């Protein structure tokens, strides 16, 4: 662990001062120069500095002394040592499970990302040899265990539930090391090609079934409306004739053609339009009286 740059500057100044005192060639100045040289050598070992995101685990004669940092702190030279530096930032670990069997015996491959961070630097440094590797191994095994306890359909439909369950499983194993799992996100679930084809056909069949059910329900609704309309027309002949006239108009309004329908529609139209017109009088002839 290096000291901050300003410490080396002070050490250089102390060494330069000691050299100046030695040049005076007096016993008192030589003793003071020797003290300055010792201070110049011990100052980098005495004053240390770590970043805002780091913590230094300090041992005193091999026993845990405490966690120092961030910023400047002091060590007793040759007695206290920094055992390790622990990064307290959030880190990511990618895990993958290949050919893992689900509860319904389907072989899949799953990729996930684990977000974790150290919350207790002392435990992370003293309770386990390599906490980074341990987190990766625990996450790998927990992923396989989680896959084996769920059906494929649930893994595909409830990814958030699987993420939360995996986060709890990994966090329960790493909490004793001073490591917490902030979140787990499943990236991808690989399914065999044959199973993908079968699932595609199943989904297509389900959609076709829903479409037919929707069409059948629509036909039922249309039939009910037609039945009600038929009852209305049966009870009111005038309404039926008006509907027939409207149909003729709808068929003829855009095409501009003449439609001849051999039915009683013509007589119905004649009755409607000639009801109020008087019939023509016959010609009396040339000899008829006036």
pLDDT tens figures, 132-191 = 999 999 999 999 999 999 988 888 888 889 999 999 999 999 999 999 999 999 998 888
CA–CA separation, 64 and 222 (whole Å): 84
**β-sheet bridge partners, residue 63:** 60
Confidence label for 288 from pLDDT (cuts 50, 70 and 90): very low
CA–CA separation, 50 and 75 (whole Å): 13
DSSP H helical segments within 50-158, as ranges?
121-126, 131-148, 152-157
pLDDT for residue 196 is more than 70: no
Cα first-last separation, the chain: 142
Q: Which two tokens stand for residue 112?
A: 């996930």
Other beta carbons within 10 Å of 5: 8
Is 242 within 8 Å of 269 (Cβ atoms)?
A: no
Residue-wise pLDDT tens digits, 71-96: 889 898 889 999 899 999 999 999 99
The whole-model pTM stands at 0.64
CA 212 to chain centre: 34
Q: Which two tokens stand for residue 62?
A: 């091999």
């Amino acid at each position: 662990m290096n000291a901050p740059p300003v410490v080396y500057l002070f050490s250089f100044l102390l060494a330069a001062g000691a050299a100046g005192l030695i040049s005076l060639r007096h016993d008192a100045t030589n003793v003071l120069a020797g003290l300055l040289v010792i201070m110049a050598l011990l100052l980098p070992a005495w004053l240390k500095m770590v970043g805002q995101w780091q913590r230094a685990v300090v041992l005193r004669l091999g026993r845990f002394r405490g966690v120092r940092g961030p910023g400047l702190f002091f060590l007793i030279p040759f007695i206290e040592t920094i055992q390790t530096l622990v990064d307290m930032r959030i880190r990511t670990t990618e895990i993958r499970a290949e050919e893992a069997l689900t509860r319904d015996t389907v072989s899949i491959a799953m990729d996930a990302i684990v977000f974790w961070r150290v919350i207790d630097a002392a435990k992370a440094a003293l309770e386990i040899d390599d906490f980074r590797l341990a987190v990766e191994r625990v996450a790998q095994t927990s992923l396989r265990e989680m896959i084996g306890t769920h059906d494929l359909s649930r893994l595909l439909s409830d990814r958030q539930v699987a993420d939360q369950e995996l986060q709890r499983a990994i966090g329960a194993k790493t909490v004793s090391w001073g490591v917490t799992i902030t979140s787990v996100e499943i990236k991808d679930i690989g399914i065999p090609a044959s199973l993908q084809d079968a699932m595609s056909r199943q989904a297509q069949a389900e959609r076709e079934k829903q479409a037919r059910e929707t069409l059948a329900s629509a036909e039922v609704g249309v039939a009910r409306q037609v039945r009600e309309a038929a009852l209305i027309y049966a009870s009111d002949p005038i309404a039926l004739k008006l509907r027939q006239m409207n149909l003729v108009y709808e068929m003829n309004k855009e095409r501009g053609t003449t439609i001849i329908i051999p039915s009683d529609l013509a007589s119905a139209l004649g009755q409607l339009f000639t009801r109020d017109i008087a019939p023509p009088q016959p010609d009396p002839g040339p000899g008829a009286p006036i």
